[in-house]
Structure 1
Amino acid sequence: MQNKKITAQDIADKLNISRNTVSKALNNTGNISEDTKMKVIQTAFEMGYKNFSQENKNITFKNKEIALFTTNMPNSSHFGSKFLSGFEKKISSLGIKLSIYIIREDDLLSRKLPSNFQTELIDAIICIEMFDANYSNFICKLGIPTLFIDCPTTKECPNLESDILLMENYNSVYTVTKNLINNGCKNISFVGDPNHCQSFYERWQGYCSALLDYNIQLDKSTCILDNDSNPYSDSSWLRDNIKKLDKLPDAFICANDFIAVSLVNALKSINISIPEDTLVCGFDGSLEAKIIVPQLTTITIPSYDMGNLAAELIISRIKDNSTPFKTVHVKTSIDYRESKGFNIINTL
């Protein structure tokens, strides 16, 4: 818990740079590199600094409007709900309006904007759950400052002309996989489509790298990697896929909590006990992960604070749309719970 108010000098000491440089980065003033600016902003966020962008107090954002594009309206337990709360609180304090547009399947296929969307009235676009590569590129070509919260994989969309905000995925899943291996698990399954989005792909890469570093051969036949058009939310579909496996894995690493909860229900339906028979880990830090029995080990995203940081990034982009595009990862934390089945001594 943070007991001390974080100052610009604390950030300067952490990064071994001058307080003046920190001030310029936080206030978006002066001649400093984008790399330095983003290191300062990311460090400030992780340290709990509260006084971002003091310059914003002197800028009028009245009548500015940000459009949120999403294919799925987040519910109360979704990452997007807490994220939006932090995002909207920040922009509303500056007088910026937020409008929400649901992008339908036919919009994606025909690459058209929602009928009630007026380009000339929008100052920026923020995209959540927008993983169609063609449509994402279409949005970027509108010439409006844009921020993606997660995005299509870099394999599908290698040159997305937009800022991107992601949670840290690779290292956290690598660490969980490593600890499973160190506690005797050798047959570890990954559940989820690695190509669903960039975050899923980075989680998959973290899993694969841990196996490689421990000389465990990747065996995709032990995983459930079907295209995301398949019903991962359907526990009966997952149950049937588990039955197809030659051997019950020692552990399952799921691409998110949504899949992990469905997997737990699927395992229970065929009398497989957790953590006695196998172990399960999710990703998101959702409420469902905490209330399901047994409680799920998960990787928690600081959703509310991430929303606040997203507001800082999009405001910076509104003020200056000529700076190089950037990708920012926000640190996550591992919550080891009942479904892990062992004691963690060192998670680093």
Structure 2
Amino acid sequence: MAKPKITIQHIADSLGLSRNTVSKALNGNATIPEDTRNKVVKKAIELKYKQFAFVDTDSFITRQSGNIALLTSDMPTSPHFGAQVLSGLEEKISAEGYNLSIHIVREADLDTLSLPNNFESKKVDGIICIEMFNNNYSRLISNLGIPTIYIDSTADLFFSELNADVILMENEYSTYLMTKKLIDNGHTSLGFAGDYNHCKSFNERWAGFNKAIQESNIPLDLSLCIVEDDRKFNLDWMEQRIGQMKRLPSAFICANDFIAISVMKILKNRSIHIPDDVAICGFDNTPESRIVEPLLTTVQIFNDEMGIIAADMLLSRIKHPSKPFQMTHIKTEPIFRASTGKLNLQKEEKPAIRS
């Protein structure tokens, strides 16, 4: 026996709508609200009405517009890796029908654990956190129950406590590799510059530095390092700090390019030659690293790709909020330039994993 022919009236009856409304919805009439149109189309596909019989629901129904909130305590400027990551991320979420709003978290917000005045959690589908390294504030965000991704994160909060996804550039091995190359080329007096408690990335770079010197049986000499609270890290303070050193290392491994270029400026002012007297490494491959003299050895971050992956992770979290949280590292690549002099750059084997 032949199946009964599905008509517009069948669709209208199943949804409690008028036949006229259903007809307009199926014909794309602009007077019909988007929600109503999507319900009608979905039902037409479900009932296999005419041309909708072989249509995939997700590909046909218009995407709902959503809202993604960017929370940051320090809006990334153009040289900062976060600004480049944000470019790829924004392009991806816009293509998926989401709007991006930016919310600056002020010092007063951090102190009082208050959300920004223009942030309305009920209107937010997902959250992106950049430069958010306050433990208590991270917990506040996590407790909102909104799908969240951190681009870098606080250094001393366990990943499982965040109840959010985290994306990082690969930090430890690239820093290990740069440090090991310097050691292999005769450097035995090495210092680290940067507050390793500032964020997870700095912490991992500190770990890579320590792994390299430990494997080479070089003792950690904190008198050659500048690792104090990063709130002190301005040029005047760093100049004073370097001036207090009884001796300088033969190489500084710096937590990022900003710190490295500041160190280079201070050393030049003291008539210390780079790299002959002191070699310098940074991290991030900022535009400044490519114009400073001498050109800065650093680490390339694949910013656009990192932003796109972060967007994919957040959108997946929005669709599947109960799946396990994940921490993802995106590959980076050391770039050796004149600030570390001529090095033998034969391929180095990865360090053994120790239990």
| TM-score past 0.5 threshold | yes
User: Deviation at 1:219?
Assistant: 1.1
Residue in 2 that maps onto 1:211: 213
* 1:161-182 deviations in Å (ceiling 9; x for gaps): 1100000001000111101100
CA–CA separation in structure 2 for the residues paired with 1:93 and 1:243: 52
- Closer, same or farther in 2 for the Cα pair 1:215/1:56, shift >3 Å? farther
Which amino acid in the other structure matches residue 309 of structure 1? I
1:262-341 pair list within 5 angstroms: 262-341=262-341
Which amino acid in the other structure matches residue 331 of structure 1? K
1:145-294 pair list within 5 angstroms: 145-155=147-157, 159-230=161-232, 232-234=233-235, 236-294=236-294
Conservation of the 8 A alpha-carbon contact between 1:133 and 1:157: no
- Closer, same or farther in 2 for the Cα pair 1:191/1:156, shift >3 Å? farther
- Closer, same or farther in 2 for the Cα pair 1:298/1:57, shift >3 Å? farther
CA–CA separation in structure 1 for the residues paired with 2:62 and 2:227: 49
1:229 aligned counterpart, secondary structure: helix
Conservation of the 8 A alpha-carbon contact between 1:233 and 1:258: no
Conservation of the 8 A alpha-carbon contact between 2:132 and 2:138: yes
Which amino acid in the other structure matches residue 99 of structure 2? K
**Given the two structures, how large is their TM-score scaled by the length of structure 2?**
0.79
1:159 aligned counterpart, secondary structure: helix
- Closer, same or farther in 2 for the Cα pair 1:198/1:57, shift >3 Å? farther
* 1:199-227 deviations in Å (ceiling 9; x for gaps): 10000001011111111111111100110
- Closer, same or farther in 2 for the Cα pair 1:93/1:155, shift >3 Å? closer
CA–CA separation in structure 2 for the residues paired with 1:139 and 1:316: 19
Which amino acid in the other structure matches residue 96 of structure 2? L
Which amino acid in the other structure matches residue 111 of structure 1? L
1:67 aligned counterpart, secondary structure: strand
- Closer, same or farther in 2 for the Cα pair 1:135/1:157, shift >3 Å? farther
CA–CA separation in structure 2 for the residues paired with 1:91 and 1:277: 48
Which amino acid in the other structure matches residue 276 of structure 1? D
User: Deviation at 1:337?
Assistant: 0.5
Conservation of the 8 A alpha-carbon contact between 1:175 and 1:347: no
Which amino acid in the other structure matches residue 122 of structure 2? E
**Given the two structures, how large is their TM-score scaled by the length of structure 1?**
0.81
CA–CA separation in structure 1 for the residues paired with 2:319 and 2:140: 22
User: Deviation at 1:99?
Assistant: 0.3
CA–CA separation in structure 1 for the residues paired with 2:338 and 2:71: 37
Q: Percent identity?
A: 46
Gaps of 5+ in 2: 1-56, 349-355
CA–CA separation in structure 1 for the residues paired with 2:62 and 2:333: 37
Conservation of the 8 A alpha-carbon contact between 1:179 and 1:347: no
* C-alpha RMSD over aligned residues: 1.6
Conservation of the 8 A alpha-carbon contact between 1:257 and 1:289: yes
Residue in 2 that maps onto 1:33: none
Of structures 1 and 2, the larger Rg is shown by: 2
CA–CA separation in structure 1 for the residues paired with 2:90 and 2:61: 18
Aligned length: 292
CA–CA separation in structure 2 for the residues paired with 1:56 and 1:273: 62
CA–CA separation in structure 2 for the residues paired with 1:127 and 1:101: 10
CA–CA separation in structure 2 for the residues paired with 1:60 and 1:133: 39
* 1:237-294 deviations in Å (ceiling 9; x for gaps): 2222112112111100000011111111111111111111110000001001111111
Q: Which moved more, 1:337-346 or 1:137-146?
A: 337-346
Q: Which moved more, 1:142-151 or 1:77-86?
A: 77-86
User: Deviation at 1:135?
Assistant: 0.1
Q: Which moved more, 1:148-157 or 1:209-218?
A: 148-157
